[in-house]
Chain A
Amino acid sequence: EIVLTQSPGTLSLSPGERATLSCRASQSVTSFYLAWYQQKPGQAPRLLIYDASTRATGTPDRFSGSGSGTDFTLTVSRLEPEDFAVYYCQQYGSSSRTFGQGTKVEIK
């Protein structure tokens, strides 16, 4: 099973700042098969990015994903008030998909 470790656990930033979230895998992720989700309190998660860097339908272009192998990054270029949430990465290189433990982006 591939273990995903997200860092930092919490990111305290102000609106307008840049957010950089990390997701590290315990072994290489097959074919860039890495997704990012956003979850706000009391809501279901929402798909943001798949294939490491492809934005899902409706994802604003201030969100970008990058990385390969074992190191992946989600970047929010300029934080909007609605971007403060918890973000999860997930690998889907096999049928036993796994999630990271999440990074909370909170208002400083």
Chain B
Amino acid sequence: EVQLVESGGGLVQPGGSLRLFCAASGFTFSTAAMTWVRQAPGKGLEWVSSINYSGGTTYYADSVKGRFTISRDNSKNTLYLQMNSLRAEDTAVYYCAKDMVLNHYWYYFVDVWGKGTTVTVSS
């Protein structure tokens, strides 16, 4: 069974840092493109960042560019999101997600979602 399990969320003060983790299982992680999507309380979905299978290509939403860093460790089947200079507007549930890859082509949509981890930025 394909599983994505996020951890690392919590309460942090504005300006602080947090590192999110996503443990993947049930599929070949080293060939998968991965994504973080967030959802603020009572709001819709917002794409945050994506990374290709090797970690050599990364993309970021303008709202987090320069503050967040996505990375992966294929030997540990783990995806990361390093979040620095956090703001109140970063408060959200952060979902780890696997993008669709077909015939080695990376489609920029999610076919598997984790359950999410909650990040609250508040003093």
Contacts and interface: CB of A to CB of B under 8 A. Distances in A.
Interface of A: 33, 35, 37, 39, 43-47, 50, 56, 88, 90, 92, 94-102
B113 interface: yes
Given A35-B109, A50-B100, A97-B108, A45 B59 contact: no
Contacts, number: 55
Contacts of B112: 47
A101 B100 contact: no
B95 A101 contact: no
B27 interface: no
B100 A96 contact: no
23 contacts: A33-B108, A33-B109, A37-B45, A37-B110, A43-B115, A45-B95, A45-B110, A45-B113, A47-B109, A47-B110, A47-B111, A47-B113, A50-B100, A50-B107, A50-B109, A50-B111, A92-B109, A95-B108, A96-B59, A96-B61, A99-B44, A99-B47, A101-B44
Nearest to B4: A44
B49 to A, nearest CB: 10
Contacts of A46: 113
Q: Looking at chain B's contact residues, is the secondary structure mostly helix, strand, loop, or mixed?
A: strand
Contacts of A37: 45, 110
B111 A92 contact: no
Contacts of A90: 45, 109
Contacts of B108: 33, 92, 94-95, 97
B111 A56 contact: yes
Interface string B25-54: 000000000000000000011110010000
